[in-house]
Structure 1
């Protein structure tokens, strides 16, 4: 969008500005279809993804950004929740009805928080479901023909009392991974995402009979994830050196990229030395201060054989994180159907693999809905000019950072690389947030600490207050607690409510500056911005803030952006108060004009910054400024107000009535005041 009349007011010696892709897909994980959205879904992932998506629309053009997500409809958590509700007489519809009801509630909550998804689909509903089945079939067949699938007969839990195989969530025990702090281990993964074979689960109990289930052999298809050990190590090294990937998520990925290990207490080793020494080829590693010895294997098959031997001998052990075959299929009826190959029929996809490629399905669904060709999705997922940003929680790093990366390489074919040529599926860019805690404790629907529902929070705070507060928490660095005082007892409340403290930047600081500018223009200058040049210091401060903001957004440092806004807006308010006081006292119209011109530039700049964070209030400011949405376009980010007002003949500001707020407080807060 070239404009020959555009004035280049950029600094002569600028910092090197980051480069953004020409096209971008943003995803925000997939909430399970057995629940409404709690505060962690919105505050831990969706607000961050939406802020970045809105920024990119301003930065590279709305037509070049696709933001998709959807309800994860399949899998054992949904099936088990549905079974319990029906069993207890709390639900009498089909499972399809069940997930559809939750999907609609999730969708409404996201709309209430101004989450600007191009598509919020559902893996089992409507056109997205049909396309997802097609994508799943294509991916499975491609992996098979590329030689990356194997059919394995593995033990699966069976409840002899109920005479049924148990799905993943119908078995609960203790995770076998050394050092795991999970509250619950399920059939082959724990609540923290650790993967293991069912035979390794410690003290398994059936959710149906409350008794120990049996293990019976079942055939399923597995992805040969362990073959990607070295390519994944190379990929992590590449990310660490050449990208702004968060270091802690790369460290987490590397935890899985270790040789197969077994840990045995030293006391067991001394008692059973002959048996342990006779295990398949291994190395013994012993550290003085540790209570266990480490047995290191070169091959996963050797470790699995060793586990079987130790189990038969009654020797307790724990395993270390490593790459294991990634199960693609299962035998629960509620799932995406798997193509019949080698006589294996009536299988469905395990929910985790199909959720990894669901964003592709949603991208294709959206593009079809706007009339694009079937192959258009490749320009977003297979092009060097494009990038896919996936916002996830830290528990999902294994799936998106290890399994998905390997799957996508496998889909390139036998000649896969970590930096594929044009037209081949590329690795995504992960933005993994740490846990958002509730009152200093991890809360989840399956734990003792129940999280507040996202929609409930809107009974006490505005969406703008919550959005900026969630961004300020700094989840890129560490797990942080969400402590809204409305959920505290009166005697526990100390100081200012942290949600309101961050929200005040909008409802108090910025709101006051914008209103002051409009009311002054109305009172003295017939609702017009006075003509004149902006002070050099004001221009310089704005330009520095713009460059800093852009870099922080590029690095997904959302909490640093809120700090930048706090500094910039408080400086602007201080400038207004100090100088306008003098102008009014001395009746200095020249100073008043200068302060107003300068302050409108600060408003123009800050509004562009805040637009991705609190869009509704910013759109209201744009409307009252009486300018086009070109004001959001970062091609013109260094331009001043006169650049935008000249588009309107005889420009004047829209009249602002008394007591109108651009960023209003929640009605409950007004009553409390």
Structure 2
């Protein structure tokens, strides 16, 4: 890990138009919290920054729908999210909001700094205007028929049915979402950020300078830059937002995606008003953004260009973006209420924060989309948290109370040369070696944002501890050699204490429970553990332990049934569709020799773009382990180019090349078609090396 004086960690500002669900938590906030806790344990100077994003069209539309003012609307959801974060234990140093006065001031100053450098482009163009309401219509205030899939309710910036990015003028039969009337085109002036002028610098800084970034992040950025950048409008005609600080900009506000990332800076100002600059302008500060994949372009291309234009600011050193989390095999859906809402989870399962932290980290969508199911939740809690981690801690505590009345036994070396003692000493030596390796592997994974792997190694300490107890069998030795039993349990207690230290970034409640049972805050041990990244001494001989308590408890079937039933109540449309669309019949039977001719492999998509003059084809560059190949796939109506970057795909590698629209396709991507006609990638459950053969 490169040495830095301090760390500025940001977690994507959640939009204040609804509650938080587990997809949000798994994508940005839990990884960021785990990393922040890890850095603090190392003694680092950390600023962990977040806040509510409270401007934009979605806010005004939501407020109108609920019949309240935008201010009342954002107040409601800001408080709901802030409390949910606090109740879940996300350890922000500050959770602010973009409607605060300090943010208005900071965002306007940022705009003026770039404006005074004469970098913005002023341009007057025709935009849709609602004559009845007397307002210009932002993208989401306009709906119409999608030119690609004929969806009659596509928005002015995107069709949510086919995923196509749109502009309002592309819509067929546009209409205002405010009045329902057909809008007219009317000239209006706006300011544009010249993103194209930063393209060369971005390629050098990002593409050449950050090849170590995650594949999905790097690939998506490269895809955007390869397609070329264009000036981007940074103002809107709205009555809710930060006013553009210019005399001729009456009625115009800063575009939400210009003002929102500046919220990281303004929140830091609010937290440290006299000392904020060192977290944003000192080159010895490491800036890291934790986000979901839908925010990659804004945090890796647009915001860095803004920071570069403003001058003096540091740039992100890493952006470990995650993919999406699905729920019970389907995309999380706010409109269908197909979600596990964080505040409801905390109400339904009080005192169970560690469980959700553990499960979400164990399935973290670090390189591809992941799926949360309640059955998997139950299995992981019961068979891993309870049976492996909790079981080991409880066994050691109970045995120490049974044989040594809750006092830490002697730690002297095993005397004698008989075979039994030699065997115990050998088992101790092997356990210590394995434990040191697990701690080192855990620390290395944390440094490199591989939280799923890091948590696995944390749990591995318990696996090794359980094996040590099972192999040494102190309950049998107690009949004739209590000195050996004392040595075994002394070391087992050392393992328990080290487990508590390792748990602190991942499972803080369980770590605190172990410290309570050990009757120690482990302060000195903690410092040594994270500095040495190896096993450390815990409590001295004769130390009195606290009462033995169960660390975690099993999740019962009734608890899972309650959660799954809640989800089923909100899926009538999905169930009806399944009935109306029967599974297709099997194709004619083939013999094994026919199948054996196919060379099916796994590859990783490194670049993706739409084919010109085609609504269906994506041009994919696939790392096949053999130098790479280009494959054209008819999935553009189901996946955007940005979604494909970093995904692992299954493809037929020995299919004869075929030329389509002037481009040679060197293979075929395998897809599965749902009963509703939706195509989904056929991908390995766990990531494998590119070029791996399917057999």
Question: 2:659: which partner in 1?
Answer: none
Distance 1:113 1:572, change over 3 A: same
Conserved in 1, the CA contact under 8 Å of 2:21 and 2:340?
yes
2:103 to 128, 132, 137: 132
Q: Does 1:467 align with 2:380?
A: no
What are structure 2's unaligned runs of at least 5 residues? 414-424, 562-695
Listed one character per residue, the Cα deviations across residues 431-473 of structure 1 (whole Å, up to 9, x for unaligned) are 2110111222222324x46323122233158211111111111
Q: Secondary structure at 1:70's aligned position in 2?
A: strand
Question: 1:631: which partner in 2?
Answer: 525
Question: 2:266: which partner in 1?
Answer: 361
Listed one character per residue, the Cα deviations across residues 163-206 of structure 1 (whole Å, up to 9, x for unaligned) are 43223322235778x9x999985434666998765434566442
Distance 1:457 1:541, change over 3 A: same
Question: 1:232: which partner in 2?
Answer: 202
Whole-Å separation in 1 of the counterparts to 2:500 and 2:118:
53
Q: Does 1:258 align with 2:163?
A: no
Whole-Å separation in 1 of the counterparts to 2:498 and 2:297:
40
Whole-Å separation in 2 of the counterparts to 1:498 and 1:226:
46
Question: 2:300: which partner in 1?
Answer: 401
Question: Which structure would you say has the larger RCO, counting Cα contacts within 8 Å and 6 or more residues apart?
Answer: 1
2:338 to 443, 450, 453: 450
Whole-Å separation in 1 of the counterparts to 2:220 and 2:39:
28
Whole-Å separation in 2 of the counterparts to 1:45 and 1:502:
22
After TM superposition, list the pairs within 5 Å mapping 1:412-427 onto structure 2: 412=311, 424-427=313-316
Whole-Å separation in 2 of the counterparts to 1:198 and 1:26:
36
What's the offset of the Cα at 1:54? 0.8
What's the offset of the Cα at 1:220? 1.1
Question: 1:430: which partner in 2?
Answer: 319
Distance 1:78 1:54, change over 3 A: same
Distance 1:227 1:181, change over 3 A: farther
Q: CA RMSD in A?
A: 3.0
Listed one character per residue, the Cα deviations across residues 143-174 of structure 1 (whole Å, up to 9, x for unaligned) are 11223211111332223344432233222357
Q: Does 1:517 align with 2:396?
A: yes
What's the offset of the Cα at 1:118? 1.2
Conserved in 2, the CA contact under 8 Å of 1:175 and 1:185?
yes
2:29 to 42, 46, 55: 46
What's the offset of the Cα at 1:344? 2.6
Listed one character per residue, the Cα deviations across residues 37-83 of structure 1 (whole Å, up to 9, x for unaligned) are 1221223221111111111111233xx11212111111110110110
Q: Does 1:645 align with 2:536?
A: no
Question: 2:289: which partner in 1?
Answer: 390
TM-score, with length taken from structure 1: 0.74
Listed one character per residue, the Cα deviations across residues 499-520 of structure 1 (whole Å, up to 9, x for unaligned) are 4415642233211211222222
Whole-Å separation in 2 of the counterparts to 1:202 and 1:48:
42
Q: Does 1:655 align with 2:572?
A: no
What's the offset of the Cα at 1:406? 1.1
Listed one character per residue, the Cα deviations across residues 190-232 of structure 1 (whole Å, up to 9, x for unaligned) are 6699876543456644223445433322111111111111111
1:56 to 30, 39, 45: 39
Question: 1:326: which partner in 2?
Answer: 232
Listed one character per residue, the Cα deviations across residues 625-656 of structure 1 (whole Å, up to 9, x for unaligned) are 233333333555457664x536xxx8623321
Listed one character per residue, the Cα deviations across residues 512-556 of structure 1 (whole Å, up to 9, x for unaligned) are 211222222222234232223593323322221122111111111
Q: Secondary structure at 1:653's aligned position in 2?
A: coil
Q: Secondary structure at 1:141's aligned position in 2?
A: helix
Question: 1:553: which partner in 2?
Answer: 446
Conserved in 2, the CA contact under 8 Å of 1:331 and 1:346?
yes
Distance 1:575 1:656, change over 3 A: same
What's the offset of the Cα at 1:668? 8.1
Q: Secondary structure at 1:33's aligned position in 2?
A: coil
Conserved in 1, the CA contact under 8 Å of 2:406 and 2:546?
yes
After TM superposition, list the pairs within 5 Å mapping 1:279-294 onto structure 2: none
Conserved in 2, the CA contact under 8 Å of 1:156 and 1:218?
yes
What's the offset of the Cα at 1:483? 1.4
What's the offset of the Cα at 1:426? 2.2
Conserved in 2, the CA contact under 8 Å of 1:382 and 1:426?
no
Q: Secondary structure at 2:283's aligned position in 1?
A: coil
Whole-Å separation in 2 of the counterparts to 1:522 and 1:50:
36
Question: 2:255: which partner in 1?
Answer: 350
Whole-Å separation in 2 of the counterparts to 1:348 and 1:519:
64
Aligned residues: 542
Distance 1:429 1:639, change over 3 A: closer
Conserved in 2, the CA contact under 8 Å of 1:465 and 1:500?
no
